[in-house]
Amino acid sequence: MHANATALIEMDWDAFDPARIKAVRHQLADHPLLQPDQLVALGKRFQGTSHLFTFNNNAGADANFDDVARLYPNRRSVTDTLQGINEAKAWMLLRHVQADATYQKLIDLALDPIKPRIEKHDPGMYYRAGWIFVASPHTVTPFHIDRNHGILLQIHGTKKVYVWDAEDAEVCSELARDCFHSRHELDEVKWREEFRERAHVFEVGPGQGVYMPITSPHMVETGDDPSITISLTYSTNATRRNAMEHVLHDLLRRKGIKPPTVGKHPLLDRLSYASASAMIAMHGVGSRPPACPSLARRTAYAVAD
Ligand SMILES: [Fe+2]
């Protein structure tokens, strides 16, 4: 652990609110493990596993996020994908890099020093994970939401990051969040072009990034150069509680009951949390498709699904 090490991620900690989107700065852009040669080596170690996706991307913001990887895998080697990244509309996604001992240390190096700052407002950090995206110029990560807090850190090239407030029900409904937390479905998370004007927009280059609270909708466009980005994600007591409440609300909806908005009725939220916790403890998080494994297991690092 690196609790006393220099913080490589900086933000205005006095103004930090775990529920608010925030710009960050970082000193990881020159880290050797985030340079192309080491990413090729990691990609080779991950080849043939669920940790590595390489795919072509002609998708726009309105594409279904899950479909992009499923429908356009290019099945090329890591080396070929990276060599062609300048010309091809290609992506390489290294998922759950914490499964590799070297990269797990990198995640700790980045998160350990800021953990006390985060936990002052948002205690119980667990389920750490790292995701590395290598993408061609002018590619789009379609509009979607994620199950945990995330810190996007730009390493190489530029990106335009559009993020919307997590509670913006115009952009992403309560129903969409319920379905997503309970069944990991993004079908109700639907892009509309007019959303752009109400987004927080960050143009990030190396050394810059964005903190995104759980289920803040986002969409990302790469600039004129190939892009390397690492996203660090984690759960906390509050994200766990929020996700559990959404899981229970999804079940209520399926029984024909319209639940209230999560966060608006503290007593109901506590009852939902208690019910969902008991259910998940008894039955697990469901089989197909599952709620986030972080709800069943409070492990230090995320478990690859
Ligand atoms: Fe994301």
Predicted local distance difference test score (pLDDT) of residue 92: 86
Quick check: 105 pLDDT over 60?
yes
pLDDT, tens only, 28-69: 999 999 998 899 899 989 988 888 877 776 667 677 666 655
**240-244, 251-255, 276-280: least confidently modelled range:** 276-280
Best CA proximity match to 203, nearest among 167, 157, 135:
157
Average pLDDT over residues 200-217: 97
Query: Exposure of 225 by Cβ count < 10 A (0-12 exposed, 13-18 middle, 19+ buried)?
Result: middle
For the segment 264-286, the average pLDDT, to the nearest whole number, is: 64
Q: How confident is the model at residue 124 (pLDDT cuts 50, 70, 90)?
A: very high
Do 11 and 211 form a contact (C-beta atoms < 8 A)? Answer: yes
Q: Give me ligand 1 centre to Cα 152, in Å.
A: 9
Ligand 1 centre distance from Cα of residue 146 (Å): 5
In the chain, % of residues over pLDDT 90: 51
Residues 6+ apart with CB under 8 A from 47: 77, 78
pLDDT tens digits, 3-15: 557 899 999 999 9
Highest mean pLDDT pick, 51-65, 134-148, 208-222, 237-251: 208-222
State the distance from the centre of ligand 1 to the C-alpha of 144, rounded, in angstroms.
Answer: 6
Residue of 265 and 127 predicted with greater confidence: 127
pLDDT at residue 288, rounded to an integer: 40
What would the pLDDT profile of 287-300 be if each residue is shown by its tens digit?
444 577 888 788 99
Q: What pLDDT sits at residue 289?
A: 42
CA of 41 to the centre of ligand 1 (A): 24
What integer is the mean pLDDT of 114-128?
A: 97
Q: Note the Cα 49 to chain centre separation in Å.
A: 20
* CA 181 to ligand 1 centroid distance, Å: 14
Angle at which helix 237-254 crosses helix 174-183, to 10 degrees, equals 100
Q: What is the pLDDT of residue 179?
A: 83
Interval between CA 256 and ligand 1 midpoint (Å)? 31
**Ligand 1 centroid vs 145 CA: distance in angstroms?**
6
Q: How far is the CA of 268 from the centre of ligand 1 (A)?
A: 29
CA 216 to ligand 1 centroid distance, Å: 9
Q: Residue 95 C-alpha to ligand 1 middle, in angstroms?
A: 12
Question: How far is the centre of ligand 1, averaged over its atoms, from the C-alpha of 200 (Å)?
Answer: 15
Model pLDDT for residues 58-90, shown as the tens digit of each residue: 667 677 666 655 555 666 677 777 777 766 777
Q: Which residue has the tokens 């007591």?
A: 237
Whether residue 301 is predicted with pLDDT greater than 90 in this model: the reply is: yes
State which fold the 9-236 domain adopts.
Jelly Rolls (2.60.120)
pLDDT 10s digits, 131-173? 999 998 998 888 999 989 999 999 999 999 999 999 898 998 8
CA of 67 to the centre of ligand 1 (A): 14
What's the mean pLDDT when you consider all of the chain?
A: 85
Domain ranges of the chain: 9-236, 238-295
Please tell me the predicted confidence (pLDDT) of residue 293. 80
Query: What's the 198 CA to ligand 1 centre distance in angstroms?
Result: 18
Angle between helices 237-254 and 266-283 (to 10 degrees): 80
pLDDT at 21 over 80: yes
